[in-house]
């Protein structure tokens, strides 16, 4: 893992002021002006755009978008999640970093955030585009439950994230089974597109879970590659303004901890109704693809394990535990 970034005080000071003189800043941070200049240059090397010189004063460009992990930790009222947030400018994948923390024995709740990922991973071996401006996070969990009880955890997470996104941005969220969050602009009620994906990786023995790496990718203020724009969007595009990633992460961690407390004690059952109500494509004809076959049916809901329940053409209903769901275009023509 690259060395941890410990520069939050300087970043916070630059973020909270417009142009600030070197003398003022050095006084505030209790360092010499020379030491301050060195620190500012180190930040510049890391990609922060800071104009000015000690005498003229410093000014940080795009200061509002700067992510300061310590500010998030300090604002949290959680007991476990996010008390320690490890922030990096660049990582291959936050999943790899959080697994390293797991191997070192860190407790539940450690969080890794990267400003950008060079090898972001999605479900089913897909690439996850992770440019600057998005929220790329992995959370270390140590659920005190049996390994077979873990799969609905990501459904529970998607519900908590959808609530957080709605409260922090101007978007309406829906859940795409199993664990995507899709959103549309609140004002327009337009077509929903993907804004968040969740990747859950786990290490377990037959009767206990060692760790779960809960990877969350939210398209916030990041650019999206052209080929994704048909099905994905960003919160900035929906809200028509930049969305505060720190506030969003804080709300996500608060919501997740509350939900996990309930989930660890009572499984998916307490979430089933709310989850099903917020699903995309309820009662519509969908196709479930698990890469071996495509099954078409009517989306009836989710069962107590979080499995997708489809009504099949013969009248039988069946539960599916994995796969990708899409709307069946031909089957839905004229049936709404
Ligand atoms: C998906 O929808 O396929 C899941 C995408 C998960 C992306 C996140 S970004 C943070 C974490 N690190 C990764 O490499 N992947 C997850």
CA distance 8 to 77: 20
Mutate to test the pocket of ligand 1, among 87, 92, 95 (most ligand atoms within 8 A of CB): 95
Secondary structure class of 254 (helix, strand, coil): helix
pTM: 0.90
- 84 CA → ligand 1 middle, Å: 20
- Chain mean pLDDT for the chain: 91
Q: Is 95 in the pocket of ligand 1 (CB under 6 A)?
A: yes
pLDDT of 9-59, one tens digit each? 888 888 887 888 989 888 888 888 888 898 999 888 877 889 987 778 899
Nearest CA to ligand 1 atom 8: 217
CA distance 204 to 21: 54
Report residue 2's pLDDT band, with 50, 70 and 90 as the boundaries: very low
Closest C-alpha to 284, from 326, 232, 317: 326
Tell which atom from ligand 1 comes closest to the C-alpha of 117.
Answer: 14
Token pair in block for residue 29: 């941070």
Using an 8 Å Cβ cutoff, are 268 and 152 in contact? yes
Ligand 1 contacts CB of residue 122 (under 6 A): yes
Ligand 1 binding pocket mutation candidate from 132, 199, 323, 324 (most atoms within 8 A of CB): 199
* Residues 22/68, Cβ–Cβ less than 8 Å: no
pLDDT value for 188: 64
Q: Which atom of ligand 1 is nearest to the CA of 93?
A: 14
Say which DSSP state 238 is in: H
- Report which of 156, 148, 152, 261 is spatially closest to residue 205, judged by C-alpha positions: 148
Structure tokens at 248: 């969003």
Q: Is the pLDDT of residue 329 over 80?
A: no
pLDDT of residue 4: 41
In this structure, are residues 155 and 306 in contact, taking their beta carbons and an 8 Å threshold?
Answer: yes
Q: What is the rounded radius of gyration, in angstroms, for the C-alpha atoms of the chain?
A: 22
Tokens representing residue 336 in the block: 């709404």
263 C-beta closer than 6 A to ligand 1: no
pLDDT of residue 189: 62
Task: Name the strands in the sheet holding 324-327, side by side, starting at the edge strand that comes first in the sequence.
Answer: 317-320, 308-311, 294-302, 285-289, 324-327
Q: Identify the weakest region by mean pLDDT among 42-46, 57-61, 264-268, 318-322.
A: 42-46
Query: Distance between CA atoms of 116 and 55, rounded to whole angstroms?
Result: 33
Ligand 1 nearest-atom number relative to CA 95:
12
Distance, in Å, from the CA atom of 90 to the CA atom of 246, rounded to the nearest integer, reads 17
CB–CB of 90/5 below 8 Å?
no
Which DSSP symbol is given to 3? P
Contact 273/264 with Cβ under 8 angstroms?
A: no
How much is the pLDDT for 1? 58
**First and final CA of the chain: distance in angstroms?**
52
């Amino acid at each position: 893992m690259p060395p941890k970034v410990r520069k939050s005080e300087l970043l916070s000071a630059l973020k909270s002021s417009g142009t600030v003189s070197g003398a003022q800043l050095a006084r505030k941070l209790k360092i010499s002006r020379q030491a301050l200049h060195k620190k500012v240059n180190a930040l510049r090397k890391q990609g922060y755009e800071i104009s000015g010189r000690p005498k003229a004063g410093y000014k940080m460009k795009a200061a509002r978008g700067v992510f300061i992990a310590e500010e998030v930790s300090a604002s949290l009222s959680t007991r476990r999640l996010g008390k320690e947030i490890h922030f990096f400018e660049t990582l291959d994948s936050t999943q790899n970093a959080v697994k390293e923390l797991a191997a070192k024995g860190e407790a539940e709740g450690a969080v890794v955030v990267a400003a950008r990922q060079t090898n972001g991973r999605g479900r089913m071996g897909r690439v996850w585009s992770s440019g600057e401006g998005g929220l790329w996070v992995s959370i270390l969990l140590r659920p005190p439950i049996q390994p077979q009880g873990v799969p609905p955890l990501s459904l529970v997470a998607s519900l908590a994230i959808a609530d957080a996104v709605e409260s922090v941005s101007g978007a309406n969220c829906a859940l795409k089974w199993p664990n995507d969050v899709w959103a549309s602009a609140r004002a327009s009620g337009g077509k929903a597109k993907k804004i968040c994906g969740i990747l859950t990786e786990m290490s377990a023995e037959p009767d206990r879970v060692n760790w779960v790496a809960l990877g969350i990718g939210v398209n916030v203020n990041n650019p999206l590659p052209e080929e994704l724009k048909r099905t994905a969007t960003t919160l900035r595009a929906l809200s028509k303004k930049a969305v505060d990633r720190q506030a969003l992460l804080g709300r996500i961690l608060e919501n997740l901890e509350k939900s996990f407390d309930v989930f660890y004690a009572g499984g998916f059952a307490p979430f089933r109704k709310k989850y099903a109500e917020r699903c995309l494509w309820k009662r519509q004809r969908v196709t479930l693809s698990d890469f071996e076959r495509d099954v078409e049916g009517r989306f009836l809901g989710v069962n107590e394990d979080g499995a997708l329940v489809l009504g099949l053409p013969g009248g039988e209903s069946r539960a599916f535990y994995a796969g990708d769901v899409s709307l069946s275009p031909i089957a839905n023509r004229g049936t709404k």
